[in-house]
Amino acid sequence: MTPDSSSYRGLGPFAARLDELTAITARAASRILAIDPSRAARRRKADRSFVTAADEGAQAALIDGLSRLFPDLPAVCEETTGVPRPTTLGRHFALIDPLDGTREFLELRPEFTVNLAIVADGAAGIGVIAAPALGLIWRGVVGRGAERLSFDPKRGEPCGDPTPIRSRRRPAEGMRVAVSRSHLDPDTAALLSRLPVHERVACGSSLKFCRVAEGGADLYPRLAPTFEWDVAAGNAVLAGAGGLVTRPDGTPLVYGQVADEFRVPAFLAFGDPAAVPRIIPPARC
């Protein structure tokens, strides 16, 4: 990642502490690995999904670390236990999903992540994603680049030299598409039926963004509702790697939609921005 001031959208102060943001995410990831999924305390939320002690422990680590780095930075978290969501947001705020892929975690699949994003002026500017069971961390800063690091589960921290990543540039023909292992909705399936899909890459959580960012897939479509904390970190990583995330009509996602309870109705994540005109028309049908 090139060492510039990262003045994009006023991200400089946050990008300057990217290593510390990465360390915070790694500590949260180590909290998850310390909990046995088969014995983890859990409860169902109103939407019938589970929240576990692993979610809450990782979130506590993220909130504690962020409050030390940036005491005045508002944080919007998936889990609201002990952390009420702010009703007003300034120019910059954090979006946190402490355990994206709780189902995968409970079913002993390694496809769960910790997501941390810094939003600036409604756009995802910095993203850090840790996949502790895979021993990997991805991070990106819009305008600076993206990279992958190794994660040491014993020490609970990143290790080794980062590897720059770049999304793939290729025509839409014969594309690889990242799809949800657990949440493939009918509208997304209908879109895929209209596209020249060579291979579907199924996985859970924000790993799908990472696969597109590092060139393992060309497109990640989701035409069903989700939430900003599920999307923002992956958006920033992919944008840093040269990709693009849009609404189904091609317009940008705007984060911080308090009145809509931070819902994202749908999105398309492209490895190659040049593919947008070839994909968006079918999505409108």
Same domain (yes/no): 212, 143: no
CA distance 196 to 219: 11
Q: What is the pTM of this model?
A: 0.93
Mark whether 42 and 127 lie in a shared domain. Answer: yes
Predicted confidence (pLDDT) per residue in 12-42, tens digit: 999 999 999 999 999 999 999 999 998 887 7
- pLDDT, tens digit, 9 for 90 and up, residues 225-244: 999 999 999 999 999 999 99
Count of structural domains within the chain: 2
Asked if the structure places residue 170 within a domain, the reply is no
Instruction: Decide if 77 is inside a domain.
Output: yes
Question: Given a cut of 60, is residue 282 above it in pLDDT?
Answer: no
User: Of the candidates 147, 165, 183, which is a domain's last residue?
Assistant: 165
**What was the pLDDT predicted at 5?**
43
Q: In the predicted model, what is the mean pLDDT of residues 152-176?
A: 89
> Which tens digit of pLDDT belongs to each residue from 206-215?
999 999 999 9
Tell whether 183 and 148 lie within a shared domain.
no
Domain check: are 71 and 180 in the same one? no
49 within a domain of the structure (yes/no): yes
Q: In Å, what is the CA distance from 69 to each residue of 23, 88, 232?
A: 11, 21, 20
Q: What is the pLDDT of residue 42?
A: 78
State which residues form the domain around 53: 8-165
- What are the residues facing 163 on neighbouring strands? 148
Mean per-residue pLDDT of the chain: 91
Do 219 and 274 lie in one domain? The reply is yes
Say if 3 falls within a structural domain.
no
Contacts of 221 (CB under 8 A, 6+ apart): 177, 179, 188, 191, 192, 267, 268, 269, 283
257 falls within a domain = yes
Judge if 102 and 161 occupy the same domain. yes
Ramachandran assignment for 230, one of left (phi > 0), alpha (psi -120 to 50 degrees), beta (any other): alpha
pLDDT score of 165: 98
